[in-house]
Amino acid sequence: MNKHIKNIIFTSIVIILTISLQLVLDYIGVRDENLFLLFVISILVVQINTKNLIYGMFISMIFVLSFNFFQTEPKYSFVVDDPNYIVSFLIFIVVTLIVGGLVNKLQHQIIAVKKNEKKIKTIYEVSSKLLDSHDKPYMFRFIIEYFNGNFGDLFTIIDIDKNIYGEELEIDKFENEIKFCLDKNILVGKNTFFFKESPYLFFPIKSKLNDYGVLLLFNDKNISDEEIDFIKKNLIHLVSALDRETAIKREAITKLDMDKEKFKNVLLRCLSHDLKTPLTSIQSGSDLLLSSFEKIEDNEKKELISDIYHKSCDLNKFVVNLLNLSKLEKNKKLDNLKEEAIDDILCSVYDKVKDDLNNKKLNIMQSETLNFVYTSAQLLIEVLVNLVENSIKHTKKNTTISITYEVTKQNVIFNVIDDGGGIKNKNKEQIFDDFYSLTSKQDRHTSNGLGLSICRAIVEAHGGKISAINNDLGGATITFNIPNKGGKNE
């Protein structure tokens, strides 16, 4: 039913009920001023329901005529003998108009407050969604869907890289508008001062430091200033979220660049030291053998040759570890992993370290069942060899070293355990850092600080974690996990 017809019906019902009640109250002797209050209440009811001052004015005139007809002498006519009644009628009409106007204004203010409240709530929800997002394309798609949902499918975003979100457009047609909009940071397009013949409105999406793109609104309905302001407020939140993500990414890039520079500087320092030291020993030993071979005793020759051999082995390990670390720094994830028998891997580890044990003992866990780990066998062997060699180098005489493992649904957990003195608390957090070495000046074998760093890089490339603690045996336990295929870290 039409709104005006509803208002007319409602007003007519109020008039009939009010006049009926007027006659009843007059019959029982209610005074005239009370009847006027009844009329005022009825006028307010109509005014509030219809939200239109015209109905209030109309019903006021009806009540004046009704009072004149039924209450004033001569009754049942519209003639007025007493001039005071005319003044009263005029005052009544003025009062009802003032009251009606105030009610109407109050109603409009309430409606405006509700609209603003809804807008504020909507803007807050949009802002929250944008702040929860960390992806620029998602933000653009979200804001387009949001605007289209509120205004119709009229919006498109063209970002600074000319990617389009929303309706597909021929970007070349609007290059001038887009460039001008971003350069001047103003609204341009239809019904504005610039490019007013364009069918679109162009909103800049930019901050003081960054340009992100342009929002296009197909302005066929001549959108209101209030709606334009609403769009601008939402774009402010979009730009804030984009600025935040840009800052985070720049900070991450800066940190990465600093880390790379730091790594390069440390690498150069270590190269100069860890290459020069063994090379100097090899060179001096070889020179001594060449120049004084006949004069040197056989046992001294053997010791010099042994020293040259060990120095060359240390140098070779350093170069191999350096190359592996470089590869892992570039590729954080490993490809071509497959199921490998754990017992075969442990046998290979024993074969590689058995000649370097000296007075130390190595125990390797054996299982009655055949267990597998999802890995690169070569890399996992390198991890375990590095860990065992680290224990050999940094533990006291007659130390026992053990390799154990545990298979769970999600991981294979390896432990390298010794009883050779443990790790100082100050070193626990640093032993897996690049080029960090525990080697003392008295150690026969030099340490370049890459062995444990390689272990961490390989384990993390598998998706696992590695850590070191002091155990109850009086030594250290290094634990790492290799996730099963499709498994997650524990």
Architecture of domain 135-223: 2-Layer Sandwich (3.30)
Model confidence over 104-162: pLDDT tens digits?
777 677 776 666 666 666 666 666 777 677 788 888 888 888 888 777 778 899 998 88
Which helix (H) or strand (E) is 4 found in, with range? helix 3-27
Model confidence over 201-257: pLDDT tens digits?
999 999 988 899 999 988 766 778 888 888 888 888 888 888 888 888 888 788 777
Q: How far apart are CA 363 and CA 368, in angstroms?
A: 16
What pLDDT score was predicted for residue 120?
A: 65
What pLDDT score was predicted for residue 218?
A: 85
Kindly state the DSSP code that residue 354 receives in the 8-state scheme.
G
Judged by DSSP in three states, 460 sits in helix
Same fold, 135-223 and 338-483: no
Q: How far apart are CA 98 and CA 104, in angstroms?
A: 10
| Superfamily classification of domain 338-483 | Histidine kinase-like ATPase, C-terminal domain (3.30.565.10)
What pLDDT score was predicted for residue 184?
A: 92
| CA angle, residues 423, 477, 351, in degrees to nearest 5 | 110
Q: How far apart are CA 161 and CA 451, in angstroms?
A: 45
298-330 and 225-292 helices cross at what angle (nearest 10)?
Answer: 170
Q: pTM for this structure?
A: 0.42
Using alpha carbons, select from 464, 469, 463 the residue that is nearest to residue 480: 464
What pLDDT score was predicted for residue 488?
A: 44
- Give the residues of the chain that fall short of pLDDT 50: 434-436, 438-449, 487-490
Domain chopping of the chain, boundaries: 3-123, 135-223, 261-324, 338-483
